[in-house]
Structure 1
Amino acid sequence: MTAHTVHIQGFIDHCRSIKSLSTNTIKAYQQDLNIFGNFLNQKTSPEAVTSEKIIDFIEYLRVKRQNGPATVRRRWICIRKYFSWMAGQGFLSPSPCDNLPVRIQLPKRLPRALSEPQVSRMLMATKSSASTGRKTEFQKPSNMQLSTDLALRLMIATGIRVGELSSLRLEDVSTDGERYRIRGKGSRERIVYVMNPSLQERLRSYMSARYSDGSKPSSSFFVNRNGSTLTPQTLRLRIKKLAELSQSETRITPHSFRHTAATMLLEKGVDIRFVQKLLGHSTISTTEIYTHVSDQSLRNVLQNADPVALFG
């Protein structure tokens, strides 16, 4: 086991136990550091890493691996945090990342919300794909169409992330189907609410069926056809297929439903502070990006209406 391997494991353990970073973030850091270790050559000791080597690595990501700006930036941040931790532990001093003039410009892209017709077509696609099955089979929690339909509706109602939806447990849901405890990024918890009576009733029925199957309170709320946890990757694939079935011309991902929930709430006049709390954003500046989307919607409406055109 090389010195790099030992230190990387120590840093990962620190991120997991002390910083309480999410599982996805830890996996990303592990991958980033493995790529960095392979670039250096595993025989290179951490103390031998220079600032020039860090710059070479960033260039390697851009040119050789052809990583996009967001990926390069994430990997640069990971490496910077890793060496900062190393310096803090006394393994080296100073960090080779200190005072490096690294600037990675990210393209400004607004979140892409789905239109109401797009959402309707996606939900209709879940029903049409289920129409050939027997009713009794469709009512089972493991039924693919049922779990997908409810998952999409819950994301639209609450704006939760796909990872948060996958982590949802039966014990996190109130018996009336209204209150949901969400485990967000950095192990932060928040409460979201479903206020639509019809959706509440359907989620209650789904939860009741899960308990009837012998599931424990700690069991996953949403399950796949085998009765195991519905994973983010499985839901992504299902959404991709539904987008194809609904003949969508744009790429639709689970995060599209989060963007849609935030945008629709703001367009209906919901205070941005409530939207921030619903989405679990630590700062309101993250939520404010959705106001730009709403402004664009307003611009489109005014452009189509064009009242001045009435007067020539």
Structure 2
Amino acid sequence: MPCLDYRAFVNACRDERGVGHHTLRAYAQDLRTFARFTEAHHLSDPLSKDDILAYHRHLRDELCAKPATIERRLVTLKSYYAWREDRNSALPSPFTDVRISVRIPRRLPRPINRGTLKAVLQTDEGRIALRAKTGADDAAPVSQNAVTILIIKLLIVTGLRISELTNLKIGDVSHDACQILVNGKGGKERIVFVPNRELQEELRHFLEARYAQGGSSAPLFLNTEGRRLRSATFRKRLRALSRRLGIEPHLTPHRFRHSAATLLIEEGIDIRMIQALLGHASLRTTEIYVRVSNHALRRALEHADVLGVLRN
């Protein structure tokens, strides 16, 4: 059976390329899946092109994996063997002559409609109470519902990934709460802005209370046990909120990210600015929101009014 040194590969991706935690976990999972396949089929090094094609058929026909999953697992495997060959040229990659095309259906993002967003923002405890004076002695506890709505507001105006937001430290937010330093995918830093004056005030008061409790290096958002809020915990909160408000399909952090991009497109913001805000490496990733925004298209066509132009 081939020796898959996937731990060394994952560590190299983390240390040399700065690959994020979730991607590293996916790499390990992908390579463990392939290791099970090689064991079940009694494969041994050196693997051949036919072995890779057989694994592709196994993923497609036996595991009935989705096209995106198949593509990811093959890409991971190809990267692993390229890394291994780079370390030892006596171990050639079996992907040298392999050409596999996986057709992935293009799925449009599903932003949350404006009516639902308004309903969410108008829920009880939707705003953190502002105090005339904030300090360590008078910092009253903030309800988890109010914090949840604050996070939702930030997701809507910044388009942050939920992992980016839950990883924020108090010191990542400016003192006036107008901008946030974000550590994004691949360790790339970017600045996002909080443009709404009311939200700035709300965030600033929350920030002052948290600073009094934990200092600048503490997590910005905590769970009920006083530890850093995790993405999975926030997703559970959104599911509970969806049930309470009767929202179907249920709210997810990424749908708020889609909504942020779509709303900005509809308001006429340049797509390259939205790309910078979302932290997309490629403009092609951002361009999909142009297709989604029928509202913006309708407004643009009404403004153009070509028949009116022809009549004059």
Bin of the TM-score, shorter chain as denominator length: 0.7 to 0.9
CA 1:46–1:194: 2 relative to 1, 3 Å: farther
- In the other structure, the counterpart of 1:112 is 110
CA 1:91–1:44: 2 relative to 1, 3 Å: farther
* Of 50-59 and 82-91, the range deviating more from structure 2: 50-59
- In the other structure, the counterpart of 2:191 is 191
Pairing of 1:1-312 with structure 2 (within 5 A): 4-5=3-4, 7-41=5-39, 47-90=45-88, 92-125=90-123, 127=125, 140-141=141-142, 143-213=143-213, 215-295=214-294, 298=297
Q: Partner amino acid for 1:155?
A: L
Asked if the contact 2:159/2:257 (under 8 Å) is kept, the reply is: yes
Asked if the contact 1:183/1:189 (under 8 Å) is kept, the reply is: yes
1:300 to partner: Cα distance: 9.9
Q: Alignment partner of 1:292: what SS?
A: helix
Q: Alignment partner of 2:37: what SS?
A: helix
Take 1:126 and 1:254, find their aligned partners in 2: how far apart are those partners? 20
* Of 68-77 and 40-49, the range deviating more from structure 2: 40-49
Q: Alignment partner of 1:190: what SS?
A: strand
Per-residue CA deviation, residues 70-97 of structure 1 (Å, 9 max, x unaligned), is 1111111101100111111116443111
Q: Partner amino acid for 2:204?
A: R
Q: Alignment partner of 2:219: what SS?
A: coil
1:263 to partner: Cα distance: 0.6
| Runs of 5+ unmatched residues, structure 1 | 131-137
CA 1:159–1:46: 2 relative to 1, 3 Å: farther
Take 1:252 and 1:92, find their aligned partners in 2: how far apart are those partners? 51
Q: Alignment partner of 1:95: what SS?
A: coil
* Paired residue total: 294
Take 1:280 and 1:297, find their aligned partners in 2: how far apart are those partners? 22
Asked if the contact 2:275/2:286 (under 8 Å) is kept, the reply is: yes
Take 1:46 and 1:152, find their aligned partners in 2: how far apart are those partners? 51
Asked if the contact 1:126/1:242 (under 8 Å) is kept, the reply is: no
Asked if the contact 2:2/2:38 (under 8 Å) is kept, the reply is: no
- In the other structure, the counterpart of 1:134 is none
Q: Alignment partner of 2:182: what SS?
A: strand
CA 1:122–1:92: 2 relative to 1, 3 Å: farther
Q: Partner amino acid for 2:178?
A: E
Take 1:126 and 1:78, find their aligned partners in 2: how far apart are those partners? 46
1:44 to partner: Cα distance: 6.2
1:66 to partner: Cα distance: 2.4
Per-residue CA deviation, residues 251-271 of structure 1 (Å, 9 max, x unaligned), is 431100111001101110111
Asked if the contact 2:112/2:256 (under 8 Å) is kept, the reply is: yes
* Of 21-30 and 115-124, the range deviating more from structure 2: 115-124
Take 1:61 and 1:42, find their aligned partners in 2: how far apart are those partners? 14
Normalized against structure 1, the TM-score is what? 0.86
- In the other structure, the counterpart of 1:133 is none
Q: Partner amino acid for 1:261?
A: A
Take 2:34 and 2:124, find their aligned partners in 1: how far apart are those partners? 43
Q: Partner amino acid for 1:107?
A: P
Asked if the contact 1:147/1:223 (under 8 Å) is kept, the reply is: no
Take 2:124 and 2:50, find their aligned partners in 1: how far apart are those partners? 53
Q: Partner amino acid for 1:282?
A: A
| Runs of 5+ unmatched residues, structure 2 | 129-138, 308-312
Take 1:226 and 1:116, find their aligned partners in 2: how far apart are those partners? 33
1:24 to partner: Cα distance: 0.7
Take 2:98 and 2:41, find their aligned partners in 1: how far apart are those partners? 24
1:114 to partner: Cα distance: 1.1
Asked if the contact 1:125/1:245 (under 8 Å) is kept, the reply is: no
Q: Partner amino acid for 1:171?
A: G
Asked if the contact 1:47/1:92 (under 8 Å) is kept, the reply is: no
Take 1:86 and 1:46, find their aligned partners in 2: how far apart are those partners? 16
Per-residue CA deviation, residues 157-208 of structure 1 (Å, 9 max, x unaligned), is 1000011011111110001111100011110000000011111111111111
Take 1:47 and 1:191, find their aligned partners in 2: how far apart are those partners? 47
